[in-house]
Structure 1
Amino acid sequence: MSLIPSIFGNRSVFEPFSSDIWAPLSSNNEISSFANAQIDWKETPEAHVIKADLPGLKKEEVKVEIEEGRVHQLSGERNVEKEDKNDKWHRIERGRGKFLRRFRLPENAKVDEVKAAMENGVLTVTVPKLEEKKPDVKSIEISS
């Protein structure tokens, strides 16, 4: 971790078409365990499959959206559990927090058919692909 702020903010130099936007938190004590949600994106012959580790979140706390036709957006928020005034806390590491991840989907994505499911703290988003158009090739007979 660098002590010098990056000129790129949270964007990766190696992934110019993706961005990570972390919502401002009011204090360092509110950093949540999913603030660094890990994302895997694989492409199969049929679809793009994006998986995000979101431990401790319920599906009601997560949003999956397509913005401006091609921008896939994942966001979520965990709030602090209600506390009893008589309780004495020794450590609080599971605070509240927000996250927002955005990815530009490729041209072959069927954005109208996106599906999302969440199981055991893993969000899986499936974006079907358009069928690849095969070029129409016409053979020409060669005369002598």
Structure 2
Amino acid sequence: MDWKETPEAHIFKFDLPGVAKEDVKLQVHDDRVLHISAERKDEIYNSGKGEFRLPENALVDQIKASMRDGVLVVTVPKDQHKKKKKLLHKAVEISGEGENVASPKGIGRFVCCKA
């Protein structure tokens, strides 16, 4: 799955080679859980299922989907009134295995930089 976020929407792309559009089911459960199932019928039976929670600003009642050349594209518009919470920069300490957390040895830093 590839996920791209634009100012207007979340765009998900799923590669489903050999799967016909008629064999794909796309549903929303529990308000924001996107459920995808696909079935390919050939000499070897394959099926796949995926489920994930959509972001809070997703307009689930306006989801659109299209399929072409084995690629399913799901476009989920964003509610422009719900602002995304900004994550501030924060250092997170990482301790080494079996080492004393208070010891300066084995402590690393990771700075989260997602806006």
Please tell me the TM-score bracket, short chain as reference: 0.5 to 0.7
Following TM superposition, by how much is the alpha carbon of 1:133 offset from its aligned partner in structure 2, in angstroms? 5.1
Matched, 1:111 2:55: no
- Counterpart-to-counterpart distance in 2, 1:133 and 1:41: 20
Structure 1: unaligned runs, 5 residues or longer: 1-38, 82-94, 135-144
Q: Secondary structure at the match of 1:56?
A: coil
**Percent identical residues:** 55
TM-score for the superposition, normalised by structure 1? 0.55
Number of residue equivalences: 83
The equivalences for 1:111-130 within 5 A come to 111-130=60-79
- The secondary structure found in structure 2 opposite 1:112 is helix
Q: Which runs of 5+ in 2 are unaligned?
A: 84-115
Name the structure 2 match of 1:75: 37
Shift of 1:41: 1.0
Displacement over 6 Å in runs of 4+: none
TM-score scaled by length of structure 2: 0.68
Q: Which residue does the alignment assign to 1:52?
A: 14
> Structure 1 133/100 Cα, relative in aligned 2: closer, same or farther at 3 Å?
closer
Bigger RCO (CA 8 Å, 6+ sep): 1
Tell me the secondary structure at the aligned position of residue 61 of structure 2. helix
Structure with larger Rg:
1
Distance 1:54 1:105 in 2: 20
